[in-house]
């Protein structure tokens, strides 16, 4: 090809569409079910969803979740149940974002956002505490820590509501939302492809 042929190729590429993303100014589109940084949610009335049952810690294959439940104060309950998550920690040096904790949670308290751009300058920052994981008590938005690169929409379509609207395979429940509302978001709509009830022809006898 020679020198001039090589320069000609380079010159033509200057006017073609870019195939790369100018990160970090622009992020690539993330799939709906991307597993990222966890959050602890609240009900629409502000009560915490976590009841301190420790099922998420028991199912975690990386042993990165540490939970300790405590009895709810009688005069000022934290959650609707008898107990709440008094201690909740996630070690992100171990977490593999498998989403098993989300599936195991009976109250849909733990969810995963789309955020995965976060880095730490020391080991203690990598261990998220209950206060850091809990969403804001007023807006329901995830807390944005200094080492996290949040963008619009990364808190939407979290993994907690990515579940079927036909429990146990019963077609009569198709399209009926069975999960609770979240502070700041309300009751999330089903994911794409989960349509409402449809008229089916009567089965011939």
Q: What pLDDT sits at residue 194?
A: 52
Is residue 58 one of the residues assigned to a domain?
yes
Number of folded domains that form the chain: 1
Give the tens place of pLDDT for each residue, 91-122. 999 999 998 999 899 998 999 998 888 888 88
DSSP state of 93: T
Per-chain mean pLDDT for the chain:
84
Classify residue 54 as left (phi > 0), alpha (psi -120 to 50) or beta. left
Cross-sheet strand order for the sheet of 127-128: 65-71, 83-91, 127-128
Peptide bond into 24 cis (omega under 30): yes
User: Which pLDDT tens digit goes with each residue over 179-204?
Assistant: 788 898 888 877 665 554 444 444 44
In this structure, is residue 94 part of a structural domain?
Answer: yes
**Whether the Cβ atoms of residue 88 and residue 102 lie closer than 8 Å to each other:** no
Domain for residue 81, yes or no?
A: yes
Q: Is residue 89 part of a domain?
A: yes
Residue 54 lies in a domain: yes
Q: Which residues of the chain fall below pLDDT 50?
A: 196-205
Coil, strand or helix at 182: strand
pTM above 0.75, yes or no: yes
Q: What is the reported pLDDT for 205?
A: 43
In a domain, 24, yes or no: no
Asked if 67 and 90 touch (Cβ cutoff 8 Å), the reply is: no
80 falls within a domain: yes
Domain that residue 159 falls in: 34-141+149-173
Residue 10 in domain: no
> Residue 102 is part of a domain; what is its CATH number?
3.30.70.3270
């Amino acid at each position: 090809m020679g020198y001039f042929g090589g320069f000609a190729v380079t010159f033509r590429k200057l006017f073609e569409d870019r195939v790369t993303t100018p990160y970090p100014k622009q992020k690539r589109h993330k799939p709906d079910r991307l597993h990222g940084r966890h959050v602890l949610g609240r009900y629409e009335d502000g009560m915490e969803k976590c009841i301190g049952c420790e099922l998420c810690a028991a199912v975690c294959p990386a042993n990165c979740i540490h939970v300790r439940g405590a009895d709810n104060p009688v005069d000022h309950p934290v959650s609707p149940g008898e107990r709440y998550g008094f201690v909740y920690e996630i070690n992100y040096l171990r977490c593999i974002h498998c989403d098993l904790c989300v599936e195991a949670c009976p109250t849909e308290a733990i969810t995963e956002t789309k955020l995965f751009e976060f880095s730490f300058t020391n080991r203690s920052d990598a261990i998220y505490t209950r206060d850091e994981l809990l969403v804001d008590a007023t807006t329901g938005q995830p807390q944005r820590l200094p080492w996290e690169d949040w963008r619009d929409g990364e808190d939407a379509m979290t993994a907690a509501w990515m579940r079927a609207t036909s429990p146990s395979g019963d077609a009569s429940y198709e399209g009926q939302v069975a999960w609770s509302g979240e502070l700041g978001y309300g009751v999330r709509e089903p994911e794409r492809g989960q349509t409402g009830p449809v008229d089916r022809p009567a089965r011939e006898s």
